Chain A
Amino acid sequence: MPDVTVTIDGVTIQVPSGTNVVDAARMAGVAVPVFCYHPRMQPVGMCRMCLVQIGTPRLDPATRQPVLDDAGRPVIQMMPKLQTGCTTPVSEGMVVNTVADEVKFAQRGVLEFLLTSHPLDCPVCDKGGECPLQNLTMQWGPGMSRFDYNDKVHFEKPVPLGDLIYLDRERCILCSRCVRFQDELADDPVLGFDNRGRNWMIISKSDPPFDSKFSGNTTDICPVGALTSSDFRFRARVWELDSRPVVCTLCPVGCNLSLDMRYNQLMRVMPRENGAVNDIWICDKGRYGHRFVDHESRLTTPMLRRDGQLVPASWDEALALVAEKLAAVRQAHGGSAIAGLAAPRLSNEDLYAFQKLFREVLESNNLDQRIGAPGEPALDDLGALLGPGTGSDLAQLGAGTTVLVLGADPEEEAPLYVLRLRAMARRGARLLVANLRPTKLDRSASTRLRYRAGAELAFLRGLLRALSDEVGTDRLTVKSSGLDQLRRALFATSLDDTAAACGVSAADLKAAAATIASAEHLLIFYGAEARSAGPAVVETLGALLALAGKAGQSNSGLIALLPGGNSRGALDMGVRPDARPGYAPLAQPTIGARDLWNAVQGGRVRAVWVAGLDPAASLPAARAALDAAEFVVVQDLFLTETARLADVVLPAASVAERDGTYTNAERRVQRSRQARPPIGESRPDWQIVQGVAQRLVQAWVATGAPAVPAKGPKDGKGARGARGGVEVGAVAVAENGGWDYLTAADVAAEIAERVPGYAGVTYPALAATGKPGSWGRQVNEAIYYDGTNYENTEGVGIKLPSLIESGRASLNLAPLPVPATADDRPLLLIAQPLAYDGDPLLRGSRLEAHVPEPYVALSRADAERQNIRPGDIVRLASSAGELALPARVVDDLPQGVALVPANLAGVGLATVQTGPRTRVSLVKVVV
């Protein structure tokens, strides 16, 4: 957009056309106070705080040319009344005066009015200390009010808007920031105004009230203390809080958080601005779901099984026992008799150390990040191979970008992506949402495509066919193979036949393909629903990206929504049975989680180490196998079902208690800092792993037993000794086989050195990514955003290059064979990921009340056929087993699909599933 020259308080600057006066003034270093205006939302001019004097050059009515004065300068005609700066766009030659007496008089008047019924309860108000009303009154307001204190209007308070947010009507200045956030940004229009005049009040009448995954953000942007967070109310004064920069591990978005600590207690969770990841927002799961950190059920000491009972022990005893037992198993049965499972929420350092212990010390490749449930889809490689290229930044994308969201429910799988996708769409990106059932994102889509359940592959082949009709294959520039096979598969059927097979018309396919072909940037998000349809679907998405010519390019790529906060990191670190770190495939397939429990029962695996996962809770086979295993080690935050079966339980430090790096879905590596010392004797996972590794190495050096492959000692430990509790003695490197990390930074330095793609991702490099954005609590910034979020001092993280970009891999376009299914049961059972599910990390949080009871969701047609009403118990039967659940009847679910929440405690989905998708029959249980 062309720049416009404006003069604000004597400062002449050029700003983009369309900028409003408040923002333009800010660019000129002039603060215009605001309450209702928020730079992320449309201005409404409700609070009148930004009144300024505005003048424009007088135009000669005849010539439409500016009238010049004697000195040759344009004559400025001031508008007769003050204007609201937030709703006035700048124009060429505009002159703005924000310090005139008239303006000051108006500002004092507005504040005096806003304060007429304000309760002035700052000493007990949560917002006190970071309150725009407080700060603006100090700077711009009158010292005294002419209104009688006794005339203040009083209301009943607090009014719970939901169970997470409380409203104080007396403090509310009715700026509608919260209402507009919910309408414009979150697309959860659940807030509104009731009544009018003095009785105007915010209401929420959704069912349940304030039904939004982003409700907590309204407390941040509330410019007064009207909206308060139920889990922070009256808990602390904000000036007592120490904000510690942490990365959220509850989903793969990797939002930047501030854990606001008072001494060592977590008081609240706030967003930390990072334009490339979460902007200034976080979802409620991140905000409310970190109470596990302080939960009373956290493990505090190592425990050993003695006489069938788990009893507390010292770390020395526990680590020595683990080392001894693992060494014995390896001695007797070889390394392949040991298997390890590590949660995809652990940090890169933990996961790297974990696999290093297995691969280099125990010589076992039996690693996985899954638990071996039948519903788990194949591991996702394509999100790394074809991930968004170097320099990608979702915040920069708008017009010219096409985003395809296939088979995903971002609101449940990675909530913050809803805000990011909507922001891109608002800036002009085309949003294609394709799925087999409606999701909330459909409302924001520019094109909605509904394919038939089970016809994902046909749909994508149709899309690919239409795309290749449009642009051919010339745009395919990346290293690839199998184009001919792909072409044969695509042209085997006509587009019309494919369209008929997938239920999306040929015209719609062509239109979508044209949108994809014309895009400057192409992002493809895919989630659990897409991945459950099999690897061929994801492969075809890769082909789509490659044929569109966007593979390996900046701001274009595949983004997989995987379960687990560091799922991409776990894949990168090679916590998997089929590849080493950096996706280097293994020649020999080893025992992954799916085969593990049988292998344990069959005696091929004798010892199992589980870090942060709880297979026993949902898998009867795992429970039986762990019971039967010779030796089981569990390291976790809690005494999980699996831990109860363990021989040794090791207490791990939570994300708040240790340093670490996490790789998000877009493959951006971000650093999380320690916010408090570990609870009890708990230790960071990598330290636990190192403790065992050192003992094993020393034992083998001492006995001259199997040589440990001596990988060269690492160097470049830039951040050594920077932080972190350390009690490992100084031992010679050679003696320790490379297990002498003092801090997480040392592990990160080794990752940077040894994991392909992570070169240069060290703690100093992460810290050097700078302070992003212009927000946060900075000097003189109170005018917009005090209390909104916190300055990001940790940098924006490092975006890893995609594998294809780095030239280390090539793309196989040959279509994968699709296994035929012979099961003719009528319904397709799909596990539905929910944000508020049985995740043990939600314990202690207010979100526990939002976790639904188990259910199976049925379409109205399917329910009516069998006379099933909501609440009726139905039995689902597959070739694997049966499951009885109460029914929910969902209007917009397509016929032939049944949804059961994934990962909900007590559902027992594993008993009925035969794979990520299961054919089931349905019977109503008559009691």
Chain B
Amino acid sequence: MLLDTHASEIETILGRYASRRSAVLPLLYLAQDTYGHLNDAAIREVAAILDLPATDVFEVVGFYTLFYNRPVGTWVLQVCDDVPCCYLGAEELVAALKQSLGIQEEQTTPDGMFTLQRVKCLAACDRAPVLQANLDYVYDVTAERVEALLTHLRERAAEARKRGVSGRFAEDYAFGADGRPLRLEREAPYTPRVFTPVPPPPEPAPMAPPEAGTEAESGERRVSPL
């Protein structure tokens, strides 16, 4: 029971609000992180703590997509497939993830490690393509960086289990020079990315699919035609 395991945390959360029902979102996050997802019993438990009708809490869970009412993996990968990310390779990223993980969207890998979802704009278009792993931002995830990312996330599985899927303590990651994801300081001052102009190709590219691995130069990015 949450009241047994997280008594002081619940107390702190409740103390932040004038009325108990205001604490419904933070308590649901807490429950989700504790139980992995929000099953029926967990939602009712939150309702009981807040003295709310159970139906009201189910409504909240049903409304917000970041509350998972079905089991999810240790890492929930939410790939933005909105317009800017699409231009910069979101579809390729999704395809690479699907191939690497062997699952479709809204599915979880058999080992319970990854759940793949498509989402709309994550508000980081300047670092597209972007995905969130348990709300940890990962910037500039091109398809070829998928393996590095997955390895990195597998290494951090224990940490993820400890922190929970809600991303209450989410961090930001970009890829370092060695191709491995590198944690960014949240409070670091914003540095706009420097775009290196790419000279126009000498002749029109042949109509062939882009070959994987040809753009391996790390740190360098394709530039959108826009």
Contact = CB atoms under 8 A, between A and B. Distances in A.
A195 interface: yes
A205 interface: yes
Top 6 A-B pairs ranked by shortest CB distance?
A194-B62, A192-B59, A192-B55, A189-B53, A205-B55, A205-B58
Contacts of B63: 193-196
A206 B55 contact: yes
30 contacts: A189-B53, A189-B56, A190-B53, A191-B55, A192-B53, A192-B55, A192-B59, A193-B59, A193-B62, A193-B63, A194-B58, A194-B59, A194-B62, A194-B63, A195-B62, A195-B63, A196-B62, A196-B63, A203-B55, A203-B59, A203-B62, A204-B55, A205-B43, A205-B44, A205-B54, A205-B55, A205-B57, A206-B53, A206-B54, A206-B55
B58 A203 contact: yes
B210 to A, nearest CB: 35
A196 B59 CA distance: 10
Interface in A178-205: 189-196, 203-205
Interface string B184-203: 00000000000000000000
A207 interface: yes
Interface in B15-57: 43-44, 53-57
A375 B57 CA distance: 42
A195 B59 CA distance: 7
Nearest to B62: A194
Contacts of B59: 192-194, 203
B20 to A, nearest CB: 15
Interface residues of B, number: 11
A196 B129 CA distance: 27
A207 B59 CA distance: 15
A487 to B, nearest CB: 44
Q: Is the interface of B mostly helix, strand, loop or mixed?
A: helix
B62 A207 contact: no
A100 to B, nearest CB: 37
Nearest to B60: A192
Contacts of A196: 62-63
A391 B152 CA distance: 80
B195 to A, nearest CB: 37
Contacts of A203: 55, 58-59, 62
Interface in A194-229: 194-196, 203-207
Given A203-B59, A204-B55, A206-B54, 4 more contacts: A192-B58, A194-B62, A205-B57, A206-B55
A196 B63 CA distance: 6
Interface of B: 43-44, 53-59, 62-63
A205 B54 CA distance: 6
A194 B44 CA distance: 15
A203 B63 CA distance: 12
Which secondary structure characterizes the binding site on chain A?
A: loop
Of the candidates A190, A194, A205, A206, the one having the most CB atoms from chain B within 10 angstroms of its own CB is: A205
Nearest to B53: A189
Nearest to A182: B55
A190 B57 CA distance: 11
A206 B58 CA distance: 10
A207 B54 contact: yes
B198 to A, nearest CB: 41
A203 B43 CA distance: 14
Contacts of B54: 205-207
A326 to B, nearest CB: 57
A212 to B, nearest CB: 11
Contacts of A190: 53, 55
Contacts of A206: 53-55
Nearest to B64: A196
A161 B55 CA distance: 12
Question: Which of B43, B55, B56, B57 has most chain A Cβ within 10 Å?
Answer: B55
Contacts of A193: 59, 62-63
A191 B56 CA distance: 8
Interface in A375-414: none
A190 B58 CA distance: 11
Contacts of A205: 43-44, 54-55, 57-58
A190 B53 CA distance: 7
A191 B54 CA distance: 10
Nearest to B57: A205
A207 B55 CA distance: 10
A189 B62 contact: no
Contacts of B44: 205, 207
Contacts of A207: 44, 54
Nearest to B56: A192
A627 to B, nearest CB: 50
Nearest to A190: B55
Contacts of A195: 62-63
A192 B24 CA distance: 16
A925 B62 CA distance: 45
Contacts of B56: 189, 192
A193 B59 CA distance: 6
Contacts of B53: 189-190, 192, 206
Contacts of A204: 55
Contacts of A192: 53, 55-56, 58-59
A887 to B, nearest CB: 21
A469 to B, nearest CB: 37
A189 B54 CA distance: 9
Nearest to A201: B62
Contacts of B55: 189-192, 203-206
Nearest to A209: B55
A196 B61 CA distance: 11
Contacts of B58: 192, 194, 203, 205
A192 B62 CA distance: 10
B207 to A, nearest CB: 36
Nearest to A207: B54
Nearest to A210: B55
A206 B40 CA distance: 11
A204 B53 CA distance: 10
Contacts of B43: 205
A192 B52 CA distance: 13
A193 B56 CA distance: 8
B11 to A, nearest CB: 20
A192 B61 CA distance: 12
Contacts of B57: 205
A656 B214 CA distance: 86
Max chain A C-beta neighbours (<10 A), residue from B56, B59, B63: B59
Interface in A521-572: none
A411 to B, nearest CB: 16
A189 B59 CA distance: 12
A206 B48 CA distance: 12
A203 B53 CA distance: 12
A183 B62 CA distance: 19
Interface centre among B44, B53, B63 (most CB of A within 10 A): B53
A206 B56 CA distance: 10
Contacts of A191: 55
A194 B57 CA distance: 10
Nearest to B47: A205
A465 to B, nearest CB: 35
Nearest to B65: A196
A843 to B, nearest CB: 31
A195 B55 CA distance: 12
A162 B53 CA distance: 16
B51 to A, nearest CB: 11
Nearest to A196: B63
Contacts of A194: 58-59, 62-63
Interface string A118-148: 0000000000000000000000000000000
B46 to A, nearest CB: 12
Most B CB contacts (10 A, CB to CB) among A190, A191, A194, A196 go to A194
Nearest to B61: A194
A206 B43 CA distance: 12
A636 to B, nearest CB: 41
A196 B44 CA distance: 21
A194 B63 CA distance: 6
